[in-house]
Structure 1
Amino acid sequence: MGVTIKDVAKAAGVAPSTVSRVIADNPRISPATKKRVRKAMKELGYHPNVNARSLVNSSTQAIGVVMPSSADKALQNPFFPEVLRGISAVAHDLEYSLLLSTGETEDEILEGVQRMVYGNRVDGIMLLYSRINDKVTQFLQEKAFPFVIVGKPCQDADRISHVDNDNVRASKEITEHLIELGHENIAFIGGSPDLAVTIDRLNGYREALIQHGMSVKEEYIIHTEFLKSGGRKAVHELFSLDLPPSGLVIADDLMALGVVNMLEEFGLYVPEDISIVSFNNVYLSEITRPPLTTVDIQIYELGSQACKCLVEKVKNKDEPAKRIIIPFRIKHRFSTQLKGEATTKEA
């Protein structure tokens, strides 16, 4: 016969009803008692019946995590495993499980979210993207269902809890780094123009050029996928121009890796011929050759703070919307150099 609540109560020296309240995380039970009961549960190998618990307190103890595309595509980018690592660490500590939802199209993604909501499969939902006129965001707002966005909402930012970086300022500063090195022809390679992260990083790039009296050339702005193949595609377009750039602001490290590889096929090398800067500071940015100068957006922290924020909303439906900004840091490595420095050395 398996371990019962009565066995746990006896081992912890409390009433069975107290064990039930500890399982439900009742705030009226003291931390010391909770600790004692949980220790007894662990030692006896007792696992609460999650289904029964859900019926009692209307909680699934699960969080839905929504990807911006299919898992096959999204998980190629190291950003998503790292943000999931931050989410899962907090979820584990708070005794929540995760339900991952993906889709090939926006409608498929919406259908997955609707199944989670209508099927009472999760207590709250976390979106790992922010898109203009997003059907999922609109649906969750209409249903008043707890959700948090990793990124800045494109609409109703004051009414939606979100965790983000100051991507406009980060992009402005990393673009200014290239300007300070003497680069005048600087291009921008970003993701889809309907994503908030692309919009903000493009705006920061534009601000930097304008403030330094430089023109914004539309042919220098490329939108592609946040994948290695996207970076390769962008190089084809930019280096077929009559006046190709000498500096590149790339909105994602995986894209940057594709750029470096493709440039070599054009007979161009980083940083001798082209200086590049990037975003995210994933592990690839350190091991690529040369190591990338990139914006560290603290991906793990984005995930962990978003999970904490969502659980707070789940436990208190009246929790006001929060805007949490995670600081960024620029990691200076070896993918940039002074404009003309290589020529000077050869001379």
Structure 2
Amino acid sequence: MKAAAVWTGRSTGSKSTAYRLDGRIITGVAEIVPFSLSVGTHKLTVQATDVAGHTASVESTFQVTIDIAHLDQLVDMGKDHGDFLTNGTATSLQAQIASLQKAKTPLERDIRLKALKITINVQSGLTMKQSFANIAILAGVNKATVSRVINGNRNISEKTRKKVEDIMKQYNYVPNSIARGLATKKTFTVGFCFDYTNKQAYANPYFYKVLQGIEEVVYNHDHMFLMMSDHDGKNGRSTFERVVVERRVDGVIIPNTLLNERNYELLTKHDMPFVVSGENTLKQADAPWVDIDNVQAGRILTEHLIDLGCRNIMIYAGGSAAKRDKFLGDRLNGYHEAMRQHHLEPQVIEHADFLKKLYDSPRSGSEAQRPDALICCTHEQLFEILDWENGNPLLAELALATFDSFPMSKYLKYPVHFVEIDLEMMGKQAAQMLFSRMNKESGVPPFISIPTQIGK
């Protein structure tokens, strides 16, 4: 929709002519976007200059009014002239005009007229100034209601929420996250702490499974996700410490390997909501955590092998690693529970070489010590055993088992029994618990232990 203001005065013999509308320079034919001129009196000035440098000017005034009763006819004319890209645009304007024409009070008329103005500006190719005010006008609600919808306030009807969200989507409205944060005193960001110097963590595909679960929940809550390192920087402070002290995030997830006394005191001192990924190993019992039930996993895997007829079941746990890593110690405890319950003698080895010697030695009394099943607590340990496949009878005589499946298992000559461990669910549960704590919900459990099952 466009209106044209044309100056038709003659300036014979002039060298140049200048046109001004309300003091603003315009071209000879000025295309004026609807509603760009306010209602009331306006002045058009024409100044001509001849070849000798003499100037003369003429001023004309005109009135701008809004003929609400005939606006629909103007849209019809625009349709006939092909001024609309689609019929839907014209239909939308006609609906707003009909609503405007039915206004019963001056206030109601002004509100609907402002909404029509915004729509026309957008349809004319102008960018709508993104603000609560414009969205509120278009949705027919107050600015506080728009703010509640954007901030996820639950004390609002679903009908109103959908109406506001539809308007925001229609006009490509994107809330200003900085202004939103200032109003709510939130960053709408969740952090994950790790140590970037630990290259082994990056090589572990299960690290990314946990992250995948965390990110899904974070993004579903319309938050950003920030990864930070606990490694000290040049100034002696880690990124993690700076983020917590400066409150760059609303909450943080930290692996149990990095939850030391210093980090615990840092989080509690600054009242930063946090959840531990992995069972809490600190003496402080109030550190919330989410982990796989590794004791249960070790127990059911051992019982599965017993159900298969195995009795001489050995577990490859690794001495120092089992003491250092809580999850390995728990798997070992689950193994001991099952063996004890079935009155079987546990056999724990710390190095693969011990097992290899049993098979390399001549058949003698050592043959009785050979296991009929072997549980490897990690995939790295399993791969050590699989590396013996060429020229060694181990895999032909032994039932192998481990924790969690891996993509290459289907290509192995001999089957590997395993426990399914849902690390993605672990990430999801950790993130969901964090949001519950960030929102200060009641009844949040102090920890979540995720059960496992035998894989198929």
TM-score range, shorter chain: 0.7 to 0.9
Amino acid at match of 1:35: K
Contact 2:259–2:276 (Cα < 8 Å) also in 1:
no
Correspondent of 1:248 among 362, 374, 391: 374
Please show how residues 239-278 of structure 1 align to structure 2 within 5 Å: 239-240=356-357, 245-252=371-378, 254-255=379-380, 258-264=383-389, 267-268=392-393, 270=395, 272-278=396-402
State the partner residue of 1:100: 227
State the partner residue of 2:137: 10
Amino acid at match of 2:329: I
Provide structure 1 residue ranges, at least 5 long, that are not aligned to the other structure.
223-233, 333-347
**Structure 1: distance between partners of 2:168 and 2:427:** 29
**Structure 2: distance between partners of 1:52 and 1:177:** 57
Amino acid at match of 1:79: Y
State the partner residue of 1:279: 403
Correspondent of 1:297 among 403, 418, 421: 421
Q: How much has 1:41 moved relative to structure 2?
A: 2.2
Q: How much has 1:289 moved relative to structure 2?
A: 5.1
Which has the larger Rg? Answer: 2
**Structure 1: distance between partners of 2:281 and 2:209:** 23
Contact 2:420–2:453 (Cα < 8 Å) also in 1:
yes
Correspondent of 2:324 among 194, 200, 211: 194
Amino acid at match of 1:249: I
Q: How much has 1:265 moved relative to structure 2?
A: 5.2
Correspondent of 1:26 among 153, 169, 178: 153
The CA RMSD over aligned residues, in Å, is 3.3
Distance 1:319 1:76, change over 3 A: same
Correspondent of 1:210 among 337, 340, 343: 340
Deviations 1:12-35 (A, max 9, x none): 332233222222222323333223
Correspondent of 1:310 among 425, 430, 434: 434
**Structure 2: distance between partners of 1:289 and 1:66:** 40
User: Could you say which structure has the higher strand fraction?
Assistant: 2
Distance 1:37 1:142, change over 3 A: same
**Structure 2: distance between partners of 1:38 and 1:74:** 41
Amino acid at match of 1:250: C
Distance 1:264 1:279, change over 3 A: same
Contact 2:305–2:373 (Cα < 8 Å) also in 1:
yes
How many pairs align? 315
Correspondent of 1:182 among 278, 303, 310: 310
Distance 1:129 1:39, change over 3 A: farther
Deviations 1:59-115 (A, max 9, x none): 11111112366474223222121121111111111111111134569xx9x933212
Distance 1:208 1:249, change over 3 A: same
Distance 1:87 1:158, change over 3 A: same
SS in 1 for 2:324: coil
**Which deviates further from its counterpart, 295-304 or 60-69?**
60-69
State the partner residue of 1:226: none
Provide structure 2 residue ranges, at least 5 long, that are not aligned to the other structure.
1-126, 362-368
Distance 1:247 1:139, change over 3 A: farther
**Structure 1: distance between partners of 2:341 and 2:385:** 28
